[in-house]
Amino acid sequence: MNKLELFCGDTIKLKSRKRRETVCSVFSDDSCQDDHIRVNHVIQNNLRVKANDIIFIQGCPHVKYGTRIHVLPIANTLKGITRNAVQQYLHQYFLDAYRPVRISDIFIVPIKTNITVEFKVIDTEPSPYCIVAPETIIDCQGDPVEREIGESSINEVDFDDIGGMEDIKEILKEFIQCSNVYDEIYIRFGMAPSRGVLLYGPPGCDNLRDNNVSYDYKLSERLINQIINEIDGINYKIKVFIIGATNRPDRLDQIIFRPGRLDQTIYIPLPDEKARYAIPKIVLRKCSLAKDVDIKLLATVLCGESSASIIEICRRAVKAAIHQLTENEQKMEQSKQNNDSNVTNLIIKREHFEQAMAYYPRCCEALDTDIRKYEIFAQMLQSYKYGLPFGNFKFSENMNNNGNASQGSITYTDDDDLYT
């Protein structure tokens, strides 16, 4: 900020490599590394960027207050909310906030708990961006707009929402990139890329044991056959990638692992310390944490717990904070105090995590026998898919002048199309 001569609250223009632009307010953050910028999901969506992408920053000190802006809600985010409610919450969103907006930007307006509506900026006066001041006219008249091709929902889950597991995420990205980005190269050579992967590993919460599970083999057989028929019926020219997940891979019929189906398998282990540290940070990114909450200590204590268990503990901590907040509000109403007191701020404190973990059963820790089952399955699958190797195989070195082997020949027939 010092190099760009920026101060807290200044307006800046951000630009991505995809030639997407937006404007926003800038604030300092001592925890942010040098030559890095931290932006929320709304800005990431408008710029079409992900974590570790490159963003170009430019000071924009002469942004004018807007006389009028025209915004419309995204149709599939209304969820039955009335127009009057939309206008009410939209004006509350901009009230005394001095938010900068740009044409084609999408932003989120909270309506109720866990309910949000996405709006798109259609026009601004002046154009193409301005600051929404108290005197700015906010026009939301018109039919809701559909999401354009290439626009993703701000609330969609992506790889950045997964804590840790960096090596597994890279493997999945390579699979998807190879199948969808380089598919034209495969088609040029008449081959179909791998389009199926199976994720297996310990369950989110290990509360089902073999002696408690009733298994319907006939139902499973019908289901597997249906899945196989759907996979085999996909045209290899269509960009479809299939991801399956199970915590009992040993109960699946081995024909589903045949090449061309779910022929890639990835073991998803319990989260390591880095993942246990990242999961609460992602889950609680919209919450205010007290300074006495040590996430690193929490990651150490939760060794052996699954991702679902860590998320549940965070959920219980938030629930405890909300319970304390409602009690304080009731006390304030009884004493007829001002509701604008700081006690109404929802802050997750150490005591809330202590309450959440006090009675939470440590039943999600995978047993060594379970881990051993996955190791046996991996060995079994290796022998099934590949069997004994061919050994030291080499093509014949006796080649004729045309580059063909001196013995034997290969003839292409129309029947070969059956195997592409």
Mean pLDDT, residues 64-91 taken together: 88
C-alpha torsion angle, residues 320, 324, 327, 329 (rounded to 10):
-130
* 365-377 per-position pLDDT tens digit: 556 677 778 888 8
Query: Which helix (H) or strand (E) covers residue 175, if one does?
Result: helix 166-180
Q: Which residue has the higher pLDDT, 77 or 70?
A: 70
Mean pLDDT, residues 262-289 taken together: 85
What pLDDT is stored for residue 133 in this prediction?
Answer: 93
* Phi/psi at 318 (5° precision): -65, -40
Closest CA to 14 of 33, 31, 40: 40
What is the fold, at CATH topology level, of the domain defined by 273-337+344-358? Helicase, Ruva Protein; domain 3 (1.10.8)
Q: Would the pLDDT of 209 be above 60?
A: no
What pLDDT is stored for residue 249 in this prediction?
Answer: 84
* 328-358 per-position pLDDT tens digit: 777 777 665 544 444 446 788 899 999 988 8
What CATH code would you report for 1-154? Answer: 3.10.330.10
**CB 200 within 8 Å of CB 374:** yes
Q: In which band, very low, low, confident or very high, does the pLDDT at 67 lie, cut at 50, 70 and 90?
A: very high
Cis peptide before 126 (omega within 30 of 0): yes
Helices (H), 54-165: 83-94
Mean pLDDT, residues 24-38 taken together: 81
Helix, strand, coil: what percent of the chain each, to 5? 35, 20, 45
Mean pLDDT, residues 117-137 taken together: 93
Q: Name the residue type at position 289.
A: L
What pLDDT is stored for residue 332 in this prediction?
Answer: 75
Mean pLDDT, residues 171-179 taken together: 76
Mean pLDDT, residues 88-108 taken together: 91
Mean pLDDT of the residues in the chain: 78
- Strand ranges (E), 189-256: 196-200, 242-246
What pLDDT is stored for residue 125 in this prediction?
Answer: 94
What CATH code would you report for 160-267? Answer: 3.40.50.300
What pLDDT is stored for residue 205 in this prediction?
Answer: 43
Q: Would the pLDDT of 240 be above 90?
A: no
What pLDDT is stored for residue 94 in this prediction?
Answer: 92
Mean pLDDT, residues 24-35 taken together: 81
Same fold for the domain at 160-267 and the one at 273-337+344-358? no
Q: 164 is written with which tokens?
A: 């840790």
Mean pLDDT, residues 63-90 taken together: 88
Q: Would the pLDDT of 311 be above 50?
A: yes
| CA distance from start to end of the chain | 56
Q: Which residue has the higher pLDDT, 316 or 239?
A: 316
Domain ranges of the chain: 1-154, 160-267, 273-337+344-358
Give the sign of the dihedral formed by CA 172, CA 176, CA 181, CA 183. Answer: positive
Most confident of 111-125, 169-183, 323-337, 386-400: 111-125
The lowest-confidence range among 78-92, 146-160, 258-272, 289-303 is 146-160
Quote the pTM value.
0.57
Give the sign of the dihedral formed by CA 302, CA 306, CA 307, CA 311. Answer: negative
DSSP 8-state code for residue 420: -
* CB half-sphere exposure, 41, CA atoms < 13 A: 15
What pLDDT is stored for residue 139 in this prediction?
Answer: 92
